[in-house]
């Protein structure tokens, strides 16, 4: 992902009016997220329960 | 006893001495304040230091004792409180400029419990801004230093808590741990740090990191027995906390020896990419435990790689908490967290849901693995304390980020057990050739906190680590 792509993404989803400096600051973090996605999306998770409905520890 | 001798007592010992009338709370509190005044300016220990209030409470405690009243378990004992844990009428900043003037109207439940137990707060300790990092190089309240080497970080986010505890300012420190923020600074400062089973200590009054299901309030102490005492006073169901559980840890008495205990050693990830000396010290410790009769069992945790992937999508949660403040006070956020937080708004709902489901897979696997051993063991951190201001470190010829958020080297071995919700403890097991402490992390099944503490006490006995940093020994020698 580059700065232009991030600006396009932002325009489509959030319509923020950030400065170039702010977009540049976010870019490494958004890139890391985007780069993690292909592997995350490969995992078959449809039948797996969400951790948010079972508190850690799992006794309730 | 002189002030140095009073400060060097353990929590359990000072409690007993006050209860027996051998020491006054005023003397104990004055000794702690003297030490805090000696180091606070240089080490950036406190955000709000309250010596007058502490002394006033200490004198009241002594009057109560003189009146022959029944005393609570921590009567007159000074402790410190991390500045993201609410204290009524006393500002609680979260280490952030945006909350510089935030004054809670109520104490956090855990503060109420410790006050009811007789503890006296010396003040609110410095932390990594909003508990979102592992260095405690705080852009607003100062770069906290490591007592074992003043040019190095104490770790974080409970860095002020760890530095105070190591410098013997108070007898226990309250910290918070959302990815290792109690265990990392405890590990880097030669202390014991406990993150108990999620839900057994109330989070009401703890400023959230954004991911409530991984947040914990935990103690940093100078011994395992002190950590056990703190947990016994902090735990308990709290109906005001939606994450609180009525289940409490299963009972477990002291263990006689390590003989027959199964210690699981993960065969990948947790023992990979370690500093050479950290690895040597921790492997030597495991060998000592094996010689003492423990059975060492290699174990595999296959979903760990997936978990680290899912953490990226998890950043959406922190964004939701910070969104209104980022909108109105963006410039008040430190550079190392403002962009990371903003990036969370681009996470898609489907990916966030995938992340929570991957977390479930990990929780289930950790639970299965822990049912086959008594504890898991691994280095608490992959490196000893790095210099303040350094961004990267070289491990096995590879340059890696020290604390980048969402993928920090410092937190690689601690974060997974916040995700799993199971208890984990660090205790010091050795020093590098530079004299920096190295911690070993032990992890047990959910609600087996007392068994974990009992095993940690045996490891502590085997290792005989001196938690006093050289700077205090030098001071004593001069005095």
- Domain ranges in chain A? 3-42
The mean pLDDT value of chain B amounts to 95
| Contact status, residue B111 vs residue B238, Cβ threshold 8 Å | no
Is the per-residue pLDDT at B51 higher than 70? Answer: yes
What's the average model confidence in pLDDT over A2-18? Answer: 95
- Contact residues, chain B, for A56 at CB < 8 Å: 197-199, 213-214, 363, 419-422, 446
Token pair, residue B427, equals 């205790």
The ipTM value here is: 0.91
Helices (H), A1-60: 3-13, 20-42
Query: Looking at B159-173, B185-199, B213-227, B392-406, which range is the least confident one?
Result: B392-406
Which residues share a beta bridge with B230?
A: none
Q: Pairing mode, if any, of strands B192-195 and B295-299?
A: unpaired
The pLDDT value recorded for residue B407 is: 57
The active-site residue out of B25, B121, B158, B181 is B181
Selecting from A32, A51, A57 the residue whose C-beta is nearest the C-beta of B446 gives: A57
Cβ B96 vs Cβ B333: under 8 Å: yes
**Residue B308's pLDDT is what?**
81
**d(Cα B1, Cα B201) in Å, to the nearest integer?**
35
| Closest alpha carbon to B215 in B245, B175, B185 | B175
**CA B445 to CA B376: how far, in whole Å?**
9
For residues B317-336, give the mean pLDDT.
91
The separation between CA B174 and the C-alpha centre of its own chain, rounded to angstroms, equals: 8
Q: Which of B142-146, B212-216, B450-454 has the lowest mean pLDDT?
A: B212-216
User: B406 pLDDT exceeds 70?
Assistant: no
Rounded to whole angstroms, the Cα distance separating B415 from B362 reads: 12
pLDDT per residue as tens digits for the range B109-131: 999 999 999 999 999 999 999 99
Specify whether B181 is catalytic: yes
Distance CA B79, CA B161 (A): 10
- Confidence class for position A59, pLDDT limits 50, 70, 90: very low
Q: Residue B132 has which token pair? A: 């979102």
* B312 band by pLDDT with thresholds 50, 70 and 90: confident
Scanning B159-218, the segments in alpha helix (DSSP H) are: 159-166, 183-188
Whether A52 has a pLDDT exceeding 90, the answer reads: no
The answer to whether residue A60 scores a pLDDT higher than 60 is no
pLDDT of amino acid B404:
59
Predicted local distance difference test score (pLDDT) of residue B257:
95
Q: What confidence score (pLDDT) does residue A51 get? A: 74
pLDDT of residue B405: 52
Cβ contacts of A45 on chain B, cutoff 8 Å: 354, 357-358, 361
Q: How would you classify residue B422: left for phi > 0, otherwise alpha for psi between -120 and 50, otherwise beta? A: beta
Are the C-beta atoms of B425 and B224 separated by less than 8 Å? yes
Pairwise pLDDT comparison (B212 vs B448), residue with the higher score = B448
Contact B278, B382 (CB under 8 A): yes
Question: B3-478 adopts what CATH topology?
Answer: Amidase signature (AS) enzymes (3.90.1300)
């Amino acid at each position: 992902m580059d700065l232009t792509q991030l600006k396009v993404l932002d325009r489509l989803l959030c319509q923020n009016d950030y400065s170039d400096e702010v977009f540049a600051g976010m870019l490494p973090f958004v890139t890391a997220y985007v780069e993690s996605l292909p592997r995350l999306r490969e995992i078959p998770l449809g039948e797996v329960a969400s951790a948010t409905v079972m508190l850690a520890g799992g006794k309730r | 006893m002189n002030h140095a001798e009073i400060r060097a007592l353990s929590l359990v010992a000072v409690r007993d001495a006050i209860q027996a009338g051998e020491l006054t709370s005023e003397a104990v509190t004055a000794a702690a304040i003297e030490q805090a005044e000696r180091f606070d300016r240089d080490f950036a220990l406190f955000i709000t230091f309250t010596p007058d209030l502490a002394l006033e409470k200490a004198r009241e405690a002594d009057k109560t004792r003189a009146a022959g009243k029944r005393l609570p378990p921590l009567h007159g004992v000074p402790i410190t409180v991390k500045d993201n844990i609410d204290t009524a009428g006393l500002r609680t900043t979260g280490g952030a400029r945006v909350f510089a003037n935030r004054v809670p109207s109520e104490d956090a439940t855990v503060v109420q419990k410790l006050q009811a137990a007789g503890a006296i707060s010396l003040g609110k300790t410095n932390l990594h801004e909003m508990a979102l990092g592992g260095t405690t190089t705080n852009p607003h309240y100062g770069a906290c230093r490591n007592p074992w080497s003043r040019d190095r970080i104490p770790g974080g986010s409970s860095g002020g808590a760890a530095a105070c505890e190591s410098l013997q300012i108070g007898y226990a420190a309250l910290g918070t741990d959302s990815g290792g923020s109690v265990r990392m600074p405890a590990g880097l400062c030669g202390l014991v740090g406990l993150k108990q089973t999620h839900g057994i200590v109330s989070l009401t009054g703890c400023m959230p990191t954004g991911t409530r299901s991984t947040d914990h309030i935990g103690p940093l102490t100078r011994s395992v027995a002190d950590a056990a005492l703190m947990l016994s006073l902090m735990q308990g169901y709290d109906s005001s906390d939606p994450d609180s559980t009525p289940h409490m840890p299963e009972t477990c008495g002291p263990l006689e020896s390590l003989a027959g205990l199964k210690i699981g050693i993960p065969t990948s990830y947790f023992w990979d990419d370690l500093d050479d000396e950290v690895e040597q010290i921790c492997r030597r410790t495991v060998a000592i435990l094996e010689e003492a009769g423990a059975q060492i069992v290699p174990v595999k945790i296959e979903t760990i790689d997936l978990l680290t992937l899912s953490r990226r999508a998890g950043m959406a949660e922190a964004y939701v908490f910070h969104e209104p403040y980022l909108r109105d006070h963006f410039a008040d956020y430190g550079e190392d967290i403002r962009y990371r937080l903003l990036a969370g708004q681009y996470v898609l709902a489907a990916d966030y849901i995938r992340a929570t489901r991957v977390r479930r897979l990990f929780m289930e696997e950790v639970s299965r693995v822990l049912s086959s051993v008594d504890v898991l063991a691994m280095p608490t951190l992959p490196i000893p304390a790095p210099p303040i201001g350094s961004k990267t470190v070289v491990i096995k010829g590879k340059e890696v980020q020290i604390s980048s958020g969402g993928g920090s080297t410092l937190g690689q071995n601690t974060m997974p057990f916040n995700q799993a919700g199971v208890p984990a403890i660090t205790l010091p097991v050795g020093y590098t050739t530079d004299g920096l402490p190295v911690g070993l992390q032990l992890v047990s099944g959910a609600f087996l906190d007392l068994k974990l503490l009992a095993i940690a006490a045996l490891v502590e006995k085997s290792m005989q680590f001196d938690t006093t940093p050289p700077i205090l020994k030098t001071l004593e020698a001069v005095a």
